[in-house]
Amino acid sequence: MAKSQKPRKKRDHKPTGNSKVTGEMKGKARVFKKPKEHDSNWPFLVDEVVVTRPYRDCVAVSLTNNEGQEVMLSLNGWAKMQLKLENVHDAGYGLKGVSISKYIQAGLALEPLTPEGDMSRIRRIYKEARERNLIRLSNEL
């Protein structure tokens, strides 16, 4: 590489340093936060999301909606089909035309929350983890 060329900065959305995933949820959830600098590659309309793998190859994202309620939405077709979750784009929380593939890949690298595809159990596991502060967002620290 010539001296005048600087290495290009890699723009990868890594889990936030301010958010924590602890206890038995470690390896089962990842928290992503919108970068402070303007980045047109951030695919969500909220500032912070939790990516999980609820069941088998299903990848979901949990986020806080405009009313302050936490909702779980599908990131891939398996989650939409198997768990009957609304797609993040259809729900209005994803930017169309911006790829979510790296978040799907991050979700597939996680351990599943449960071996069964029972959505009520998946929601209960996630809710208990949030209540026990095993998954904390930056505004909760």
Helices and strands (H, E) in the chain, number of each type: 3, 6
In tens, the pLDDT along 66-100 reads 888 999 999 999 999 999 999 999 999 999 899 99
Burial of 68: CB neighbours in 10 Å, binned 0-12, 13-18, 19+: exposed
For the chain, which residues score pLDDT lower than 50? 10, 15-18
Q: How high is the pLDDT of residue 117? A: 83
Q: pTM value?
A: 0.81
Q: How high is the pLDDT of residue 138? A: 77
